[in-house]
Amino acid sequence: QVQLVESGGGVVQPGGSLRLSCAASGFTFSSYGMHWVRQAPGKGLEWVAFIRYDGSNKYYADSVKGRFTISRDNSKNTLYLQMNSLRAEDTAVYYCAKEDGQQAGHGYYYYMDVWGKGTTVTVSS
Amino acid sequence: AIRMTQSPSSLSASTGDRVTITCRASQGISSYLAWYQQKPGKAPKLLIYAASTLQSGVPSRFSGSGSGTDFTLTISCLQSEDFATYYCQQYYSYPFLTFGGGTKVEIK
């Protein structure tokens, strides 16, 4: 079945680094754009980053731009998030999500149809 | 950045009730809106995209409407498994996405 499994979370000190992975299975990973979304404890969802299906373009939320890098290895069906210069406010559950879309009327509508269970990142001294 | 404002932030309802959640965008987003359901400790689940199109497998008691800046998610007959937090998300500024703050639906 279609599945995303995140890993790599943990406890890290402020200023430290961490690399998250998201292993995909059950679909043609190389055909889909992928997102990272995070959720701080007790808070709502925050979009973090997006990478196109072939890795040609990457986009970031202002809150992580310059510190986080999204990448993918289509030969390994794996998405990554390299997180540097971590701050306390980066503490969250990090989800990877597969993007899909549908043509409807005059528009093409995107959505995140498959999500992983998340991996927890805690930034604390 | 486009801001998404949901109301109410929480509500109490009983099984069988009709529930309506509102999402307002800070600027017009056409129909580029999705709704997600999240239960405690779980990942979000897609319910609706393109403002009103039900995702495959989602019960028909869920419906979405709206266009431009004002949107609603309606649960026509609340079931026990519907108690969760609901988020709207805009895709107009794709791929820069923003979520609403969430609406927690609790048992009365």
Q: What is the pLDDT of residues B65-107, one digit of tens each?
A: 999 999 999 999 999 999 999 999 999 998 999 999 999 999 8
- Separation in Å, CA A89 to CA A64, A92, B39, B40: 10, 8, 23, 21
- What confidence score (pLDDT) does residue A107 get? 81
Residues of A within 8 A of B43 (CB-CB) are 95, 115-118
- What confidence score (pLDDT) does residue B64 get? 98
Helix (H) or strand (E) holding B87: strand B85-90
- What confidence score (pLDDT) does residue A81 get? 98
Residues of A within 8 A of B34 (CB-CB) are 111-112
Residues with Cβ within 8 Å of B79's Cβ and at least 6 positions away in sequence, in order, are: B15, B59, B61
In this structure, what token pair is assigned to residue A44?
A: 């709502």
Please state whether beta strands A10-12 and A119-123 pair in parallel, antiparallel, or not at all (unpaired).
parallel
Residues of A within 8 A of B42 (CB-CB) are 117
- What confidence score (pLDDT) does residue A6 get? 98
Q: Is B15 helix (H, G, I), strand (E, B) or coil?
A: coil
Q: Per residue of chain A (125 residues), give pLDDT as tens.
A: 999 999 999 999 999 999 999 999 999 999 999 999 999 999 999 999 999 999 999 999 999 999 999 999 999 999 999 999 999 999 999 999 999 998 877 788 999 999 999 999 999 99
Average pLDDT over residues B28-56: 96
In this structure, what token pair is assigned to residue A25?
A: 């299975």
Q: Which of residues 50-109 of A touch B (CB under 8 A)?
A: 50, 59, 61-62, 95, 102, 104, 107, 109
| Out of A44, A61, A109, closest to residue B32 by CB | A109
- What confidence score (pLDDT) does residue B49 get? 94
- What confidence score (pLDDT) does residue A73 get? 98
